[in-house]
Structure 1
Amino acid sequence: MQRWERAQALAKESEIDALLVTPGADLRYLTGYAAKPLERLTCLVVPADGAPFLVAPNLEVSAAESAGVDVEIVGWNETDDPFALLASRLGSPRRIAVDDQMWASRVLALRDALPATEQTLAGPVLSHLRARKDAAEIEALREASAAIDRVHARMAEWLRPGRTEREVGADIARAILDEGHEHVDFVIVGSGPNGASPHHEISDRVIEVGDPVVVDIGGTTPVGYCSDSTRNYLAGGQAPDGYLDAYAVLLVAQAVQRAHARPGVTAESVDRVGRTILAEAGLGDLFIHRTGHGIGVETHEEPYIVEGNDLVLEPGMAFSIEPGFYLPGRYGARIEDIAICTADGLEVLNSTERQLVVLD
């Protein structure tokens, strides 16, 4: 069954007359087409009943065909009104669902073109599908994780005292591409006090002897699936006071979370078992983010591993497990693996050293 067929069935169950999906991860997931997000409308229409079709500007039709889009492609000219065209094809739907990332200008234009139609979000339908990976998606995530592991394995080539975070980050970005990714999605090199900011990325700070360094990196492979892994390094010398003790607790917390995560447990319980260990060691207030996020055609997607999410994990769900601690002005650390629920347990996709790696 095609992915759009599964989406169609879920839409019908949800009493949605049509799903409307514009360029982005959802469109690529449903059709394989990584359409450009132009000012000209491209929109996949998946009716609850009947065949889907893709509305696209004529100058993009050949690109859609080359991407293997296997639904009818309805082209439009520069002087056409694509929203009127779309509305004429849909007729008089009672309720449509638009993708969560659709531009506001498109949402409002659709409202004008279909004034009697209720609008809702397509996210609940599409995230249900995307959160449950099939065998091909799991293999794509394995390949992405192996590629980012190869980058971490080379860190000694670039990370050393006397270099700036920006210099190290540029080398890492090149390696992400060299090791098999199509795009670099992010490079975080947080040295010393900068490691206390989870999303620091890079700066012109010079790495010093004895600096703990958080390296969180990820990219997208040619088939459209993402990698994401965080490891921790010491730039020679001695670690700051208190860091090694805190890191030892973090290792235990992440290991316990990996052991706990499996089909049948809730997403929030995975967060809780690790957070409890950090809290008992006096580090609870320094763990300032959720334990994890789903991953697939986007780095962050369902399911989110966080307190309050009582979703029961199922086979095929892929997510990060990444507890951390962040002491402002001093240092931080985060250990992150991507994992997939199997029929009876958990497959962890990243295999590089989780222990603090000391680079001489």
Structure 2
Amino acid sequence: MDITSYDQVERFALSEAHSWSKAVDLSPVTFENAGFLSRLHHIDQIKSLLIGFHGHGRWPELIGELDGLRADDVERLIKAITRYVGWYRTLFPDTAVPIPIVDFLAQYVAYTKLRGLPNRANVLEFGSGLGLMVFFMSEDDAVKCFDLVEITQSLFVAQASICSYCYGDVFQNHALTSVQQPDNENIPMKQRGVGIDIPREFRSSLFPWWQVNIALSGRYDGIVSNSNLAEMSASSLDYYLKNWNETLTNAGHILIQDLGSQLNHRHLDVLDAVDKAGYRALARVVGTVGERRFMCENLLLVAESHPDFDVARSVIDGPFLLQDHETVRLVFGLDRPKGVMLSVHDMLRRVVARITGKTSTD
């Protein structure tokens, strides 16, 4: 997705009178107030995003939440980061590649929770950040469809590029579907050019803010929200919570990792909105559970149609976790074997060894 095309299509979307209030409501004010690069003017500016959102000081906390990395965790991370390097090299000629290594681990922590759901065939993610989850989801055979919603121009452009790299021709960029095709009816056949019409099926779609309603018209087994609910306007939060109920399959789950920075809402206000929207929780995890310490607040929600709704509890009851519930144990890794406590240097050394074909010595 090139920057000019996104901006032109967005201007077209804004030309519709009813879209102005929607644009204001969904705008990334939290990013803009913090000075985050919410709009790109040149593709080279993507590099500044690749510094990542997390400092290296959070690496030990994330490793601790997983209780160490097992061999399969290390392999998935190496494979994902190696593919990321391949993506970067398709955009830039640099020999040095910036790697948001802590962001990768944060997304992998979220991915391990998603793997614990009984069904992850169709997943919709809000707050995708750099889109690093795609490097894991695109390699997961159990995931048939992974769709994303992104309202920030800079992150949308980055995500579109990553999705296109990982999914190829089974990726659909919904910002481009907004462009009206020319009417060829009155053009002489000899001037129309030659083409073929082939049906398509997509494994991943990326939706801009002006097409959020299309994303919410689908049916998903899992809805994932990362670090954004507290950053939404009140009306935007209510809009999402109301429509998630219609979008979720009867046995579907909503997985929330981190409620976000408390610039627009206190976390208690978000929890109150979740409760009023009719959702209940199988878990509201904060801090230490047994020997596991969770870095941020986590919610596993179900709607009234879910078979487990009656055993679920209100999110405002306080932190809790249904420890005898199989899905809860799988999502939060309560039975997960201990792994090794690798450092950032250890992980990057393994990535370099994979890319160069050299053997990494432990």
Work out which of the two has the higher radius of gyration on C-alpha atoms and give 1 or 2: 1
TM-score, with normalisation over the residues of structure 2? 0.23
* Structure with greater contact order relative to length (CA < 8 Å, sep ≥ 6): 2
Q: Could you say which structure has the higher helix fraction?
A: 2
Q: Could you say which structure has the higher strand fraction?
A: 1
